[in-house]
Structure 1
Amino acid sequence: MSAPARQESAVAAAVAAARTLGLVVEEPRVLYDGFSVVVHLAPSPVVARVPTVLGRTVLADRSAQLRQMRLELQATAWLAGTGFPCVRPAHPEPLQAGGHALTLWELVEQLPDPVTEAESGAVVARLQAALATCPVDLDWLVPLDPSVPDGIVQLADTRPGHVTADDVERALAEWAVLEPWATDPTVHAAVFPDVPVQPVHGDAPFYNVIVTADGVLSSDFEHVGLGPREWDVAGVPAGVRAGYDEAAAELGLPGLDPQVLALCERGRLLQLLAVFPLADAVPGMVDALEPLVAGWRDSPPLTDLRTPLT
């Protein structure tokens, strides 16, 4: 499906789903189009997020997609109920229309003011402190699922100019090492008994923030799940890490474990490799992924969960 057709389909689905709830939608407006299409359902103060660029394992299991959406809505509703600044759900359940699954959120007026790296890092620490007592029964390291090896095996055919057969072989070998830890919390507990786990945002929380007149709001919890705190800090810029460390110390959060952080960073790289087959659908994504692939290629391979990646 072409990008315009995909966007049109997402908007139509958002409007149809909203109207089943009695919302008035007269002038839907696309706010963002990437892996999801985000639509303001004007004049209602509601925004729909419609995932449209999805791997084939996700497309093949709608029930799992809906389950994760439900967990996201539950976790963010709980978080908002504690008073933590985040974008609030506008409806407690995911909706389906036009072949799409989607979620509804309260509209917030975004300001163009930038967030400093130090402040975005501090937001992550405060978010983790708030999420620590979240009672929602979340899944483990949500993005590291069967979509990772499935995406990797597609690389040779979809990215012949960017990824070699040797790259694919190495990536699959690294996933074989990482998979037991990435998919089973009992393995983490056995290998890293002193590294605690808790609910985590799951998807670059330093980046997924919205500046409003009332302050900075955390957003985009699609990958909220259970994991080590290191998962939310994997691969962040140095300024973000400095802001995180300072705020975490003030909040009394334990220090990060270097080896677990390294595993999280390798898991992120494999996750990004796995979305490379979909990159043409998201403007700028190919250019963003190319240097990450080059950096991974130049790094030492992952051969053991306990071996430092230096």
Structure 2
Amino acid sequence: MTVFATPEQIAQRTNAAKEAAVAAGRELGLEITEGKVLYELFSVVVHLAPSPVVARIPTVLPHTTTLEDLAKRQQQELDVAQWLHEQGTPVIAPSPLVPRKPVQKDGFSITFWPFTDEDKSQEPDYVRNSELTADLHKALRDYPGELAFMGSAEPRFVREGLARLEAQPDLVDPADLARAKQEWEVLEPLVSDETAFRTRFPGIDLQPVHGDSPPANIFAGTDGPLFSDFELITFGPVEWDLAALGPELEAAYNRGADKNGLRHLDENVLKFVNAVGAIRVIAYLSCADQLPAMVEFMKPFINQWRDNQPYA
């Protein structure tokens, strides 16, 4: 049986991340009287009050992610967010008050961002956000940074995460796990090898993409929507950013693509990225010991996957 982190242990982890961020911020010269936790789930987000700076500290990580790996990913995020800001794209850019690089402190890797006022007057509009995602894709096409092909799919983690779940039948039904592993045998070569992908999907252009469902990561700023959270920035098909969002949001994206002179989403590539995303969700249950809430959170995605035909 899986041994889950207790609420007390999670609270201790959150507090440790907050204290690390406060200490790191002070070492960088920020005036900080207290750290205010604004959000916690996979990461802890802390306002380093009264400085207009927010620290983001990833705390729930795959077993394959080292601090060095995380820092590299964070540096890519800082670089692309700054580049987009300089091009005039509406993003949450890195804080100008500290050096633009991740800081490691007490076993955490921390990035710093401006404290940004949020418009809480309305619920998130995912249809609008999906249409706006085409604006982001147009802006990203010229990004000069070097990015790995489909790095945010984390193929090694998925493979090893599925293997780890064999010893945790309380998290994933053995029949579901067997199907997931069988599908991953088909999917992994296409995720891991750009040449294999291009052979399977000829004519599909690739480009820098957000990597982590941008319609769900558009911050409602008081001065307008801002693209955010580029931790999983990668090189791949634009469909990766619309995985598992469904026909209504796909149609909204296509409207945005028309406005930007971009191609529509390809149905075959959508089936592929939806399948990859579903198996990745299942693999992430291997991290549920760190975040027990993940089990209930992931259930709807797994149920949807179970109702679909296996990818072949």
TM norm structure 2: 0.91
Q: Distance in 2 between matches of 1:189 and 1:153?
A: 28
160-169 or 13-22: which moved more? Answer: 160-169
1:239-267 deviations in Å (ceiling 9; x for gaps): 32232111111111012211111110111
AA matched with 1:56? H
Separation in 2 of the partners of 1:187 and 1:237? 26
In 2, the alpha carbon distance for the partners of 1:97 and 1:170 equals 41
How many residue pairs are counted as aligned between the two chains?
Answer: 300
Amino acid in the other structure paired with 1:100: F
Provide the residue aligned with 1:104 in structure 2: 112
- Alignment partners' CA distance in 2, 1:298 and 1:157: 25
Alignment partner, residue 81 of structure 1: 86
Amino acid in structure 1 at the alignment position of 2:164:
Q
Report if aligned partners of 1:87, 1:219 keep a CA contact under 8 Å in 2.
Answer: yes
Partner of 2:160: 150
Question: Could you say which residue in structure 2 is the equivalent of 1:308?
Answer: none
Q: Write out aligned runs for 1:117-266 (5 A).
A: 117-145=126-154, 146-158=156-168, 160-266=169-275
CA shift digits 1:259-304 (9 cap, x unpaired): 111110111101111111323544743222112222222322222x
Q: Pick from 42, 65, 78: which aligns with 1:35? A: 42
Identity among equivalent positions (%) equals 37
Structure 1 stretches of 4+ with a deviation exceeding 3 A read 279-284
Residue ranges of structure 2 left out of the alignment (5+ in a row) = none
Residue 165 of structure 2 contacts residue 286 of structure 2 at CA under 8 Å; is this kept in 1? yes
Show CA shifts across 1:207-241 (max 9, x none): 11111121001111110110100101111144322
Instruction: Report which stretch shifted further, 31-40 or 85-94.
Output: 85-94
Deviations 1:34-62 (A, max 9, x none): 0000001111111111000111111xx32
The residue matched to 2:48 in structure 1 has which SS?
A: strand
* Root mean square deviation, CA, Å: 1.6
Secondary structure, in 3 states, of the residue corresponding to 1:301?
coil
TM-score by length of 1: 0.92
Alignment-derived partner of residue 291 in structure 1: 300
CA shift for structure 1 position 137: 0.6
SS in 2 for 1:143: helix
